Structures are given as structure tokens and as C-alpha cells.
Amino acid sequence: MPGADARVPEAAPRAPGGYARAMARAVAALPLGLDRIVAPSLLGFAVLNAATFSVDLGLLTLLHGGLGWPLAASITTSYVVAFALSYLLNRRLNFDSHGPLGPQLGVYVVVVAVNYGVWILGVGDGLTHVGVDYRVSRLLAAVCEAGYMYAAMRWLVFRSPSVHPDAVR
């Protein structure tokens, strides 16, 4: 349109979304002073990743147990699906990130690759090879990966440039 201002105004800071507010309220209600220890993003991560982990385990069981796919292919496929879903949900709902998608996705791919090699194949597949049921192995690997992934997503992938990565909350 002639004469229209070509500048794009900066977006006003957004208030936290409904999911973030719900997690903050849930953390505030924690007893025994846990509200001073548990970050709302930790609870949000736990809720979202419990859902995506159920997708992971369900797909793993379907592919390996139901369709007879090789274990490594089943683990890889279910892992990729679950982690794509986790990235999207955590980016939008939990960390409400507005950072550039490209660099965040690049860091996330590296984080996920390390996670896959160490926790999923290293622990998950390794335990299966020593006789542990593949579903139990996957659960044990998930406990390890949860701590790693939360820390990586909070302080590496979705970190705010204005917040020092060593900040506790």
C-alpha cells in the first residue's frame, strides 16, 4: 500500500500461556517448601514428556512386539516420533520460546543425538542385550534421559539470552 509504514513493529512481551500459568499454580501449591525447589518448567517438562514417552513406548511395543520389527529400528522410529513431538510441545507450551527456530533446532538435534547414543542405545539396548526385557530397559533408560533432556532443553536449547545458564530458577 503506498505511503504505508514499511516497518514492522516489535511484538510486545507476551504473558505466559495457559499451560505455563497452570504449571506455576501447581508448583505454588506444592507442600513442604517444594515450590522453592521445583521450577514450573520442570513440572511442565515432566507432564509433557510423560505424554510423549507414552507415545514412544506404545509405538515401540507396536513396532517390535506387534509387527516384529528389529529392536534397533523400533527404538529409533519410536524415539524420533516422540522427540519431534516433545520438541514442538516444549517449545510452544512449556518454554514458550520465541528464539530463532534454526539455531534452537540445531542445538536440539545435537542434544538428541547425544541422548540417543548414551541413554537410548547405550543403556536401553545395552540392558536388553544382557537379558533385561526391552520395555523395562526402555523405562530405565527413560529415567536417565529425563534429567539430561530437561537440563539440556532448559539451559541449552530454549535458554533465554537474558538469563544466565547457571541461574537456578
Q: What is the pLDDT of residues 62-121, one digit of tens each?
A: 999 999 999 889 988 998 899 899 999 999 999 888 888 889 999 999 999 999 899 888
Higher pLDDT, 56 or 120: 56
Strand ranges in 26-168 using DSSP code E only, listed in sequence order: none
- Give the per-residue pLDDT at 126: 92
Domain residue extents for the chain: 18-157
Pick the closest to residue 158 from 94, 112, 73 (CA basis).
94
Task: Determine contact, residues 85/108, Cβ cutoff 8 Å.
Answer: no
- Give the per-residue pLDDT at 7: 46
Average pLDDT score over the chain: 85
Q: Is 114 helix (H, G, I), strand (E, B) or coil?
A: helix
147: left (phi over 0), alpha (psi -120 to 50) or beta: alpha
Predicted TM-score (pTM) of the model is 0.73
- Give the per-residue pLDDT at 96: 84
Amino acid identity for residue 17 in this structure: G
Model confidence at 11: pLDDT above 50? no
Amino acid identity for residue 22 in this structure: A
